[in-house]
Chain A
């Protein structure tokens, strides 16, 4: 993992890889993240940079890999998945978050979005299934409950170097 991280840094900084920060544009060139529609969110969630430029240090990189590895518990995975899906960072998944999530899934580009009627129906169904307290949003506990019943989550939410 250290090798992969240091490859992302420009030549001069390679010896200092432990303490250097890699800008977001470099991270997005990793093959595992290149094809991922959530790449921006992943960088944002795992980055601990104070300047909000979403750059990642080696520790952040390790954090990210450990969460996406096989041996992370489903609690940890669901917690981070919640943060990744929470596009407006307000701690809950409301309708706008869900809409953006579905659009990420179906692909960028005009022809690949669902029609607004279908989107309404879909969000309605999602909220029906997962919103237990019927407040129109999904909080962390509800999300973790829904994900624990989902059989594919563990096998799809992983990245292997």
Chain B
């Protein structure tokens, strides 16, 4: 401080003024930053979790916070472009009117759609059943696609094209999620690249950066000590195991490889079993729940929820089986974990895909001329998008119920048992560890459902936001009261990247069914904004045809092959260039490292010479 003061004496007045103004500006900026950090959601909660349980678990909670924000923004998007105009026009605010364009060239049979909204005297139980399964009174609300049967909204003199807005809002939220996830994962990717480029850094990283200086609680510190010790010991053992593997003989290798192939076949068999059962159950549930005969019985509710239950059961059992099987495959522990995680991710996401596939096979079931006039099975599914929306809604609600139920009925009693009952069996069972990867896969599964379902049910992101909001507090309470941190801590840097990569896979997987239903399957003629078009995608070519000719030709030119193929080729060239640049940089780094070694050897040589000369 003294030296700084001495310096300022020497400067001219102009410089002094500049210095003081820049200092006060910096102070003001940091104050603003401090204030704005108060606005960050849950800042204090996540900090306290970080202090007590370390950065691995904290990354799970900040991922949860990211999902809440993402869902909220998606909801705002859909709300302002789709729901708000509909509400404005339905209630006639701001001098708005609705324009219904009568359908042309469409058979009248296709437009019959009588959703069974509740009329007359209904039991309270029916309301509950409708709330849980999205039928009845919920089906006619703005929750589902069928409500938005408006073709255009006139606000004073402006014409607002609702179908176009609906489709573009869908594309917008998909693109927004995609870009946001990629932006967040770029940082993690850079770290991962550096980390992968030097796989021999792991010991130094653990020893020099191993202690998390944020820990303030002595209990947490003790656990961190133990986990560090465990981690170092496991790594050393893994190294010895790798040496042993390298020295394996031929017969052993053959035995192990054949065992691995056998186990992989078992895994594939289990997966196909899951998929087939989901398919059959979905078909059964769809056939039976459309039967009006037992519309009010409890069995009907069970039948409606059958696909969700089977999927949740499969998601629960499959990881257990995988964890059991992988022990026989004798991989290194790190690879074991990665492979199990990969298999679990695949099971969860593919289950959703199979459910959707079975739904579509039902909708496009054109066996005996069932879909002649309209292109889809109009008798069973006059408004098929609402049906798909209902399935997604049911999945989401059931997922939420399961998470709450597991927290309430499995974790708290377990803790009570372990702390109060001291018999050997219960103690061996022990406290449940907070398995980060399982929990993350759970919420990514929920988020993929949200991505797919928002097109069919525009209010779904709002439900997802509320669901994740509640889950944050539930998990936090469960964590603080019952569990001990995992003995094998996952590092914060690699886990953030892993979560985002799996979320990205979920999003890309969501593109497939959405693209298929927008572009391939004929849209329902009885409900929804796309009644007058063959498929939902047709809105866009229709709108383009209304543009001035010059613009039309330009847009058609871009989408034609003459443009797309050279564009693709140029992209490939750029990608190869960047990869070659990266490889060249890597080689330069290697060369510099070798030079460093040589330099130090030169130094030692010179020092030896000097000491010799001095003698």
**Residues 36-58 of chain A, each 1 if its beta carbon lies under 8 Å from chain B, else 0:** 11100000000000000000000
- A149 contacts B225, C-beta separation under 8 Å: no
- A156 contacts B593, C-beta separation under 8 Å: no
Smallest Cβ-Cβ distance to B193: which chain A residue: A151
Quick one: which of B194, B215, B220, B221 contacts A149, CB cutoff 8 A?
A: B194
- B232 contacts A102, C-beta separation under 8 Å: yes
Smallest Cβ-Cβ distance to A59: which chain B residue: B1
Which residues does chain B contribute within 8 Å of A121, judged by CB atoms? 236, 239
Which residues does chain A contribute within 8 Å of B493, judged by CB atoms? 151-152, 155
A32 to B: closest C-beta gap in Å: 6
Which residues does chain A contribute within 8 Å of B226, judged by CB atoms? 107, 112
Q: Which of A59, A155, A156 has the most CB of B within 10 A?
A: A156
Which residues does chain B contribute within 8 Å of A106, judged by CB atoms? 225, 228-229, 232
Q: How large is the interface on A (under 10, 10 to 19, 20 to 34, 35 or more residues)?
A: 35 or more
Binding site for A on B (CB under 8 A): 1, 47, 55, 191-192, 194-195, 198, 200-201, 203-205, 207-218, 220-222, 225-226, 228-229, 232-233, 236, 239, 491-494, 593, 596-597, 599-601, 603-604
Pick from A6-14, A21-29, A124-132 the stretch touching chain B.
A124-132
Does A34 reach chain B (CB closer than 8 Å)? yes
A77 to B: closest C-beta gap in Å: 10
Asked, given contacts A132-B593, A156-B55, A156-B211, whether A149 binds B600 with beta carbons under 8 Å apart, the answer is: no
- A118 contacts B233, C-beta separation under 8 Å: yes
- B208 contacts A158, C-beta separation under 8 Å: no
Which residues does chain B contribute within 8 Å of A38, judged by CB atoms? 211
Interface SS majority for chain A: helix
- A150 contacts B203, C-beta separation under 8 Å: no
Which residues does chain B contribute within 8 Å of A134, judged by CB atoms? 597, 600-601
A90 to B: closest C-beta gap in Å: 18
Binding site for B on A (CB under 8 A): 31-32, 34-38, 59, 68, 81, 85, 98, 101-102, 104-107, 112, 114, 118, 121-122, 125-126, 128-130, 132-135, 143, 146-147, 149-153, 155-160
- A132 contacts B221, C-beta separation under 8 Å: no
Which residues does chain A contribute within 8 Å of B194, judged by CB atoms? 149, 151
Write 5 A-B pairs (CB below 8 A) sorted by A numbering.
Answer: A36-B213, A129-B203, A132-B596, A134-B597, A159-B214
Which residues does chain B contribute within 8 Å of A156, judged by CB atoms? 55, 209-214
Q: Which of A36, A114, A158 has the most CB of B within 10 A?
A: A36
- A133 contacts B232, C-beta separation under 8 Å: no
Smallest Cβ-Cβ distance to A118: which chain B residue: B236
A73 to B: closest C-beta gap in Å: 16
- A107 contacts B225, C-beta separation under 8 Å: yes
Asked, given contacts A112-B226, A149-B194, whether A105 binds B211 with beta carbons under 8 Å apart, the answer is: yes
